[in-house]
Structure 1
Amino acid sequence: MTLRGPQPDVVLDAIFREARSYNGYTDRPVAKADLHAIWDLMKWGPTSANQLPARLVWCVSDESKQKLADACSAQNQPKILNAPVSVIIGMDTEFHEHLPELFPHADAKSWFTGSAELRAASAFRNSTLQGAYFIIAARMLGLDTGPMSGFDADKVDAAFFADTPAVRTNFIATLGYGDPATIFARSPRPDFAKFNSIA
């Protein structure tokens, strides 16, 4: 049974109002089954023509987290090293090769063939959407995230995507069970009138 209509406050709080970005985590481990569970939720989020351009690298070993930290700012390095999991949300600029399988309703591959610029823009836009779905899926499963910039994308690409040159880094995030002592005071959010208009 699919729940339609407004959701109870406890759900809205878990996804948005009370959820936070964490700088550190408890010692509670994250199982590999949890990573699969996150993917099995986030893959259902909509992308244009079902492109699904995101390519995730789940850094669970100390070696992989160190390799990622070496490409990040000094401020972000300890966050990555100390998190149970650090995740690279990459984007495949040749996603169109998979469209005959993922979007069989039309010849969608032809829409992107011959235009690297269009593919790059679409891969960035839609993998960013998938990154948001990653955050929401993790929260719905009781986990917390710490999405961040503050890294050298070329270094991350060289370290993790050297064998898949069409894949580029979009952003990174930590994943685990958040330690409340590591969050800042809640930053303000504007009301509707400040950043919105109705045309």
Structure 2
Amino acid sequence: MPFALDDAALDLLFREAHTPKTFTGEPVGEDAIRAVYDLIKLAPTAFNQSPLRLTLLRSPEARQRLLPHMSPGNQAKTATAPMTVILSVDLEFHRKLPTLFPAVPGLKDGAFAEPAARERSGGMNATLQAGYFLLGLRAAGLAAGPMTGFDAEGINKEFFGDGSQRVLLVVNAGKPGPDAYRPRGPRLSFEEAAVTL
């Protein structure tokens, strides 16, 4: 096999991992999420940008603010997950670039001076980081339930009223509960997804 990881690690990250529909009541500790972030922040992005922001919803009050903005099919599992994370892009991420790269002149005022360029680059790189976050949760032995069924405008108003962030994805996280998994759905084959030129 062409992998540096053993089968147990590949099973944990990919082969046996599923999106859960139920969770146990076991809480997701702050140290676990901190460890996941400290791992995934090292994964590659353009210029090592870090535009992804995590809003951790643990309290019933925070969850109640989110639920009206979730699609009906996502409300019950979001209400019962031990933690829900709103993954968002910081549209002002470029302000931290000079502190990360003092030797790269012009990043703050040059490449990202235009809001459209910032939004495009921030969105793309935050989306990369969101994928890494899902794998990081799996690497920590947690199940991840990413969802795109929500009212983005409603979430943005409720949680990011100043307009500096924009929701990308909502993720339920925790230990999978009873009957958590449906059978794995089909995926495209290599031949269907790849072309060699």
Instruction: Specify if TM > 0.5.
Output: yes
Looking at structure 2, the residues matched to 75 and 182 of structure 1 have their Cα atoms a distance apart, in angstroms, of 15
Aligned counterpart in structure 2 of residue 177 of structure 1, from 175, 178, 184: 175
How much does 1:114 deviate?
3.0
Moved more, 5-14 or 132-141: 5-14
Aligned counterpart in structure 1 of residue 70 of structure 2, from 69, 72, 75: 72
SS in 1 for 2:150: coil
How much does 1:64 deviate?
0.7
SS in 2 for 1:77: helix
Structure 1 runs of 4+ aligned residues shifted over 4 Å read none
* Number of residue pairs the alignment of both structures matches: 194
* TM-score for both structures, normalised by structure 2: 0.93
**CA offsets per residue over residues 46-74 of structure 1, 9 Å max, x none?**
11111100111010001111111111111
Looking at structure 1, the residues matched to 134 and 142 of structure 2 have their Cα atoms a distance apart, in angstroms, of 9
Match of 1:32 in 2: 30
- 8 Å Cα contact 1:50/1:103 also seen in 2: no
* TM-score for both structures, normalised by structure 1: 0.92
Identity of aligned residues (%): 37
Match of 2:50 in 1: 52
Code of the residue aligned with 2:148 in structure 1: it is S
Match of 1:105 in 2: 103
Code of the residue aligned with 1:145 in structure 2: it is A
Match of 1:87 in 2: 85
How much does 1:27 deviate?
2.0
SS in 2 for 1:52: coil
5+ residue gaps, structure 1, are none
Looking at structure 1, the residues matched to 77 and 190 of structure 2 have their Cα atoms a distance apart, in angstroms, of 33
Match of 2:123 in 1: 124
Looking at structure 1, the residues matched to 93 and 26 of structure 2 have their Cα atoms a distance apart, in angstroms, of 35
Q: Over the residues paired in the alignment, what is the CA RMSD in angstroms?
A: 1.4
